[in-house]
């Protein structure tokens, strides 16, 4: 009995240690963001913001181009999500519900496409866009992002569509609706949550991207939030407080959305393993 208890204590202690090591950088970012300069630049680290202040956040958002870059990020992300969702919905429908010649080739294509390193493609994409006078425009970045978001949106949506019980489709067909009509009427509401989860993942992908945006957008007022944050880091003698505040702000939408859909993905995973 006591060995069982000591085992438990051991594992709990270990778990706490792992938790502390993994989460510490995130904690350190947020706590630094709320510290006044005297607590940030202390010879012995101050572990908790005892005199919390919002001045770092004020400094961060008053830095040049913050709001312009927030807007750019939002414009790019929304355009990418909308377009990829429409295109992916159609393609996923084909994959999930049809057997057709070339289906396998298409699956190979969308999986292989995700394996091509985007940072290798920067060179030709930059040259093609500069030829077309599309460098330094948001539309160039949007189209570029579409390609790396699209394959995985197709794959994920397909997974969600497969999760729809086929009995439901069959039942509605028995009721006499046309196949396609029944299909859309039954399927659409059922994969609603899947559409939401997929679009959030597309959102996160596009929001986090850095190097494409850095290369394709020169003008500081036309850049995205990640590029804004990275230019912050570039300064020597970094202002750590405002930088951590900016980092927190950049991460915030992603973390919120991510935590919201994470359960769904975890569920999708187990469902996939159990489904016969």
Q: Which of 60, 76, 81, 96 binds other proteins (CB under 8 A)?
A: 96
Residue 251 has, within 13 A of its CA and on its CB side, a CA count of: 14
Spell 56-92 as b/e; 16+ CB within 10 A means b.
Answer: bbeebeebebbeebbebbeebbebbbebbbeebbebb
Q: Which of 74, 128, 190, 196 binds other proteins (CB under 8 A)?
A: 128
Where does this chain touch other proteins (CB under 8 A) — which range of 48-56, 66-74, 81-89, 185-193? 81-89
Where does this chain touch other proteins (CB under 8 A) — which range of 51-59, 60-68, 74-82, 238-246? 238-246
End-to-end CA distance of the chain: 40
160, 268 Cβ separation under 8 angstroms? yes
CA distance 213 to 82: 19
Residue 109 interacts with other proteins (CB under 8 A): yes or no: yes
Where does this chain touch other proteins (CB under 8 A) — which range of 57-65, 70-78, 185-193, 244-252? 244-252
Where does this chain touch other proteins (CB under 8 A) — which range of 49-57, 66-74, 184-192, 259-267? 259-267
CA angle 110, 276, 87 (to 5 degrees): 25
Closest contact distance (angstroms) between CB of 267 and other proteins is 10
What tokens appear for 172 in the block?
């509605």
Where does this chain touch other proteins (CB under 8 A) — which range of 12-20, 53-61, 66-74, 184-192? 12-20
- The candidate with the shortest Cα–Cα distance to 204, out of 100, 97, 84, 86, is 84
155, 230 Cβ separation under 8 angstroms? no
Q: Which of 6, 9, 28, 67 binds other proteins (CB under 8 A)?
A: 28
- 197-236 mask for other proteins (x: CB under 8 A)? -x--xx-xx-xxxxxx--x----------x--xx-xxx--
Closest contact distance (angstroms) between CB of 11 and other proteins is 5
Give Cα separations from 134 to 85, 170, 216, 219 (angstroms): 24, 49, 9, 13
Closest contact distance (angstroms) between CB of 51 and other proteins is 17
Per DSSP, the three-state class of 36 is coil
DSSP-derived secondary structure letter, 205 = H
What tokens appear for 214 in the block?
């850095």
Q: Which is nearer to other proteins, 68 or 107 (CB)?
A: 107
Residue 85 interacts with other proteins (CB under 8 A): yes or no: no
161, 191 Cβ separation under 8 angstroms? yes
Residue 184 interacts with other proteins (CB under 8 A): yes or no: no
Residue 68 interacts with other proteins (CB under 8 A): yes or no: no
Q: Which is nearer to other proteins, 11 or 50 (CB)?
A: 11
- 135-174 mask for other proteins (x: CB under 8 A)? --------xx-xxx-xxxxxxx--x--x---x--xx--x-
Q: Which is nearer to other proteins, 62 or 103 (CB)?
A: 103
Crossing angle between the packed helical segments 138-162 and 240-274, to the nearest 10 degrees:
30
- Residue showing tokens 């489709």: 169
């Amino acid at each position: 009995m006591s060995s069982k208890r000591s085992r438990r204590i051991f594992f709990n202690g270990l778990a706490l240690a792992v938790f502390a090591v993994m989460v510490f950088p995130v904690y350190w970012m947020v706590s630094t963001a709320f510290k006044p300069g005297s607590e940030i630049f202390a010879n012995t680290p101050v572990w908790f913001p005892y005199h919390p202040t919002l001045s770092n956040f004020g400094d961060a958002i008053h830095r040049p181009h913050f709001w312009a870059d927030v807007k750019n990020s939002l414009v790019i992300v929304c355009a990418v999500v909308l377009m990829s969702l429409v295109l992916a919905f159609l393609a996923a429908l084909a994959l999930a519900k049809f057997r057709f010649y070339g289906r396998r080739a298409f699956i190979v294509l969308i999986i292989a496409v995700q394996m091509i390193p985007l940072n290798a493609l920067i060179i030709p994409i930059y040259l093609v866009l500069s030829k077309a006078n599309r460098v330094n425009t948001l539309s160039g970045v949007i189209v570029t992002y579409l390609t790396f978001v699209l394959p995985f949106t197709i794959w994920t949506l397909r997974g969600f569509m497969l999760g729809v019980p086929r009995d439901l489709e069959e039942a509605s067909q028995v009721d006499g609706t046309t196949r396609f009509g029944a299909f859309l009427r039954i399927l659409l509401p059922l994969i609603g949550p899947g559409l939401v989860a997929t679009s959030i993942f597309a959102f996160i992908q596009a929001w986090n991207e850095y190097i494409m945006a850095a290369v394709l957008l020169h003008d500081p007022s036309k850049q995205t939030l990640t590029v804004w944050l990275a230019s912050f880091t570039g300064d020597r003698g970094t202002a750590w407080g405002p930088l951590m505040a900016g980092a927190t702000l950049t991460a915030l939408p992603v973390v919120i959305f991510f935590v919201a859909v994470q359960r769904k993905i975890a569920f999708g995973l187990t469902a996939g393993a159990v489904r016969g």
